[in-house]
Chains A and B, each alone.
Chain A
Amino acid sequence: MAAKEKEPLFSPKNIKLITNPINVDNPITKQVLGICSALAVTVKVEPAFVMSISVMAVLAFGNLIISLMRNTIPSRIRIIVQLVVIAALVILVDQVLKAFAYDVSKQLSVFVGLIITNCIIMGRFEAFSMANKPWPSFLDGIGNAIGYGWILVAVAFFRELFGSGAVMGFKLIPQSFYDMGYVNNGLVILPPMALFAVATIIWIQRSRNKDLIED
């Protein structure tokens, strides 16, 4: 493989790999991947943010590794090979979190481990990196992780704002509101609210972009 038609590192095609998943091809609202963790870790912004970063690390490097090995993996056992690659990366992420962000890692509890079965990762391996070169695969991983991450952080932002009146520990709702009788909405902290929040995002997104409407 001589470098005959060398593409620039950030050609328009590669940029698209990052920007598409953020909106029109979003992993959560369009591809329906990785919902489990998206709903469960969004009570507060901080764990949601850490979760997004962890997924980004696993997805980008997993995509890279799988893409490098794509020609040597026999297709019959590819799921097990993919799982081993993911599991190894997730163990690394888990150990790093335990060492440097112990409190957040306690809050995320089993959901760090569940990155292994996060469908985004498996889905992108199958759909993209098994058939593409390493660098585009890496970008695809970053792009999808950002698309996943912004939804997580957006949902977590509103849940934390209305549920505990603060974001990342800063009080955003002024004390005078509470004095007038404003009360934090306890319902928003409960798990089902995450579903309504994601449904609202889907509603807004599909109203603005009619192509995405299912029939």
Chain B
Amino acid sequence: MQDLVNIFVKSIFVDNMVFAYFLGMCSYLAVSKTVKTSVGLGAAVIFVLIITVPVDYLMNEYLLKPGALVWMGKEYASIDLSFLSFIMFIAIIASMVQLVEMVVEKFSPTLYASLGIFLPLIAVNCAILGGSLFMQQRDYQSVAEATAFGLGSGIGWFMAIVAIAAIREKIRYSNVPAPLRGLGITFVITGIMGIAFMTFMGIKL
């Protein structure tokens, strides 16, 4: 249990997707103009990450890892399919996003309307594929750990995009040098936030 909490907290603060690894920067920069839309996108990212990371974990564990096919019989123990992981992960993510879109549309039309075009765009958000690839690289021990990691990174991303959107709403009233306006100043703010987040480094529960 303590391990799970540790992974969860670590993935929110220490290994924050945006501030430590710059994942999902494109949508982070493009959608963070108002708080309202960024809350919607952030929620969608959390949602998709909690589903895809555990599914990709099972995929990796029982299909792709070197020796993962041993459950089919001893003669398959030497097969290593890990070179296929990119294409498998992205296929799962794309189909999961499609599935999530259909489920949300059926059961919660209001949420679907508020997420709008963001849902399909999540398939190409690097934070999602990054979540699966980090999960594979860090070698988590169980589905529970993978889920905790997925949830944590989703919440970390949500926090980052909502924070930057709030700052950007206010910065419109400041006198920013003309060439830095828009994209430039957003980079600078993100950098400063990244430095602030570095104070969390080394946290352990």
* A38 to B94 CA separation, bound complex (whole angstroms): 24
- Is B124 a contact of A117 with CB atoms below 8 Å? yes
- Is A195 a contact of B187 with CB atoms below 8 Å? yes
- Is B129 a contact of A113 with CB atoms below 8 Å? yes
What is the count of residue pairs linking A and B with beta-carbon distances less than 8 angstroms?
Answer: 140
- Is A192 a contact of B86 with CB atoms below 8 Å? no
Asked if B190 lies at the interface with its beta carbon under 8 angstroms from chain A, I say: yes
Interface size on B, residues (CB 8 A): 48
Asked if A203 lies at the interface with its beta carbon under 8 angstroms from chain B, I say: yes
Among B1-40, those with CB < 8 Å from A are 19-26, 29-30
Tell me the nearest residue of chain B to A213, going by C-beta.
Answer: B178
Q: Which of B83, B123, B177 contacts A83 (CB 8 A)?
A: B123
- Is B191 a contact of A213 with CB atoms below 8 Å? no
* A193 to B24 CA separation, bound complex (whole angstroms): 18
Stretch from A43-51, A89-97, A175-183 that touches the partner: A89-97
Q: B21 — which chain A residues lie within 8 A by C-beta?
A: 36, 40, 191
Interchain nearest-CB distance for A209 vs B (Å): 9
Asked if A64 lies at the interface with its beta carbon under 8 angstroms from chain B, I say: no
Asked if B90 lies at the interface with its beta carbon under 8 angstroms from chain A, I say: yes
Q: A151 — which chain B residues lie within 8 A by C-beta?
A: none
0/1 string, B90-127, CB within 8 A of A gives 1? 11001100000000000000000000000010011110
> Secondary structure of the A side of the interface?
helix
Q: B90 — which chain A residues lie within 8 A by C-beta?
A: 83-84, 86-87, 116-117
Q: A88 — which chain B residues lie within 8 A by C-beta?
A: 87
Asked if B202 lies at the interface with its beta carbon under 8 angstroms from chain A, I say: no
- Is A203 a contact of B179 with CB atoms below 8 Å? yes
Task: State the B residues within 8 Å of A (CB).
Answer: 19-26, 29-30, 83-87, 89-91, 94-95, 120, 123-126, 128-130, 133-134, 137, 177-185, 187-188, 190-192, 194-195, 198
> What 15 additional pairs, Cβ within 8 angstroms, besides A40-B22, A80-B95, A213-B178?
A32-B26, A36-B21, A36-B25, A36-B26, A83-B90, A91-B84, A114-B126, A117-B124, A117-B125, A192-B190, A192-B191, A198-B187, A202-B184, A202-B187, A203-B179
30 A-B residue pairings within 8 Å (CB atoms): A29-B183, A32-B183, A34-B26, A39-B25, A79-B120, A83-B124, A87-B86, A88-B87, A91-B86, A94-B83, A95-B83, A113-B133, A114-B126, A116-B90, A116-B129, A117-B126, A118-B126, A119-B124, A192-B190, A192-B194, A192-B195, A194-B22, A195-B194, A196-B188, A202-B180, A202-B184, A213-B178, A213-B181, A214-B181, A214-B182
